[in-house]
Amino acid sequence: MKSKSGKFKQFGISLQENLVSIQPAILAGIFMLVATITVTVVFYPQGDASGRLILILYGIFGSLYLGFYYYLYTTSPNKSFFAWVNAVFAGLALGTITFFVPKEFHYLFYSLLFIANLTTSVISSRGPAYFLTLCVTAFHIIQHLQDPIPPSEWIIHAGLTISALVGVEVIQQLKNLSQKQIKRLEILNEVSRQIVSTLEKKQILTLLNAAFQNVLEADTYYIGTLEEGDEIHLQLFYDDGEYFDNMRVKKEGTLSGWVIDHQQELFLSDLRNQAVALEGVNYVLMGKSKGSLSWMGVPVKGAHANGVMVIASYHHNAFNQSDLELLNNIAQRAALALDNAHHHAMVQEEARLDSLTRVLNHGHFIKSLREKAEECALNNHPLSLIMLDIDYFKEYNDTYGHQVGDEILVRLCNFIRENVKIEDVVGRWGGEEFAVVLPNTDSAQAMQVAERIQKSMERFKLQTQRMGSITAPTVSQGIAIFPNETNDVSKLIDLADSRLYTAKERGRNQIESAPSFPQTSD
Strands 475-482 and 511-512: parallel
pLDDT in tens, 354-369: 999 999 999 999 999 9
Q: What is the mean pLDDT of residues 189-195?
A: 78
- pLDDT score of 77: 67
Provide the angle, in degrees to the nearest 10, between the axes of the packed helices 79-96 and 126-146. Answer: 10
Phi, psi of 326 (to 5 degrees): -65, -45
Q: What is the CATH number of the domain that holds 389?
A: 3.30.70.270
Continuous segment of H or E residues that includes residue 429: strand 425-430
Task: Using the predicted structure, report yes or no on whether residue 126 has a pLDDT greater than 50.
Answer: yes
pLDDT in tens, 325-357: 888 988 888 888 888 888 888 888 888 999 999
Average pLDDT over the chain, rounded to an integer: 83
Q: How many domains does the chain have?
A: 3
- Is residue 196 one of the residues assigned to a domain? no
Q: What is the mean pLDDT of residues 81-93?
A: 79
Report the percentage of the chain scoring pLDDT > 70.
88
pTM for the complete prediction? 0.57
Q: Do the Cβ atoms of 13 and 7 come closer than 8 Å?
A: no
Confidence bin at 17 (pLDDT 50/70/90): very low
- pLDDT score of 477: 97
| Residue 383 backbone zone (phi > 0: left; psi -120 to 50: alpha; other: beta) | beta
- Is residue 199 one of the residues assigned to a domain? no
Examine the domain organization and report whether 167 and 28 are in the same domain.
yes
Examine the domain organization and report whether 153 and 243 are in the same domain.
no
Examine the domain organization and report whether 293 and 262 are in the same domain.
yes
- Is residue 74 one of the residues assigned to a domain? yes
Examine the domain organization and report whether 321 and 236 are in the same domain.
yes
Task: Using the predicted structure, report yes or no on whether residue 472 has a pLDDT greater than 80.
Answer: yes
Q: What is the CATH number of the domain that holds 344?
A: 3.30.450.40
Domain boundary among 150, 183, 216: 183
Examine the domain organization and report whether 145 and 217 are in the same domain.
no
pLDDT in tens, 254-300: 899 999 999 999 999 888 776 556 777 777 778 888 888 999 999 99
Examine the domain organization and report whether 85 and 28 are in the same domain.
yes
pLDDT in tens, 154-166: 888 788 888 888 8
- Is residue 189 one of the residues assigned to a domain? no
- Is residue 124 one of the residues assigned to a domain? yes
Examine the domain organization and report whether 138 and 273 are in the same domain.
no
What does the alpha-carbon distance between residue 459 and residue 384 come to, in Å, rounded to a whole number?
25
Task: Using the predicted structure, report yes or no on whether residue 73 has a pLDDT greater than 50.
Answer: yes
- Is residue 3 one of the residues assigned to a domain? no
DSSP class of residue 360?
A: B
Quote the domain boundaries for residue 496.
362-512
Domain boundary among 315, 330, 350: 350
- pLDDT score of 144: 78
Confidence bin at 438 (pLDDT 50/70/90): very high
Examine the domain organization and report whether 434 and 298 are in the same domain.
no
Greater confidence (89 vs 458) lies with 458
**Residue type at 62 in one-letter notation:** G
Task: Using the predicted structure, report yes or no on whether residue 402 has a pLDDT greater than 60.
Answer: yes
Burial class (CB in 10 A: 0-12, 13-18, 19+), 5: exposed
- Is residue 517 one of the residues assigned to a domain? no
Examine the domain organization and report whether 153 and 231 are in the same domain.
no
Examine the domain organization and report whether 41 and 158 are in the same domain.
yes
Examine the domain organization and report whether 377 and 489 are in the same domain.
yes
- pLDDT score of 468: 74
Q: What is the mean pLDDT of residues 108-120?
A: 76
- Is residue 368 one of the residues assigned to a domain? yes
Domain boundary among 315, 350, 385: 350
Considering only 45-54, 191-200, 269-278, which range has the smallest mean pLDDT?
A: 45-54
Examine the domain organization and report whether 374 and 338 are in the same domain.
no
Give the closest residue to 70 by CA, choosing from 7, 18, 136.
18
pLDDT in tens, 299-318: 999 888 899 999 999 998 99
Phi, psi of 401 (to 5 degrees): 100, 165
Task: Using the predicted structure, report yes or no on whether residue 18 has a pLDDT greater than 60.
Answer: no
Greater confidence (58 vs 394) lies with 394
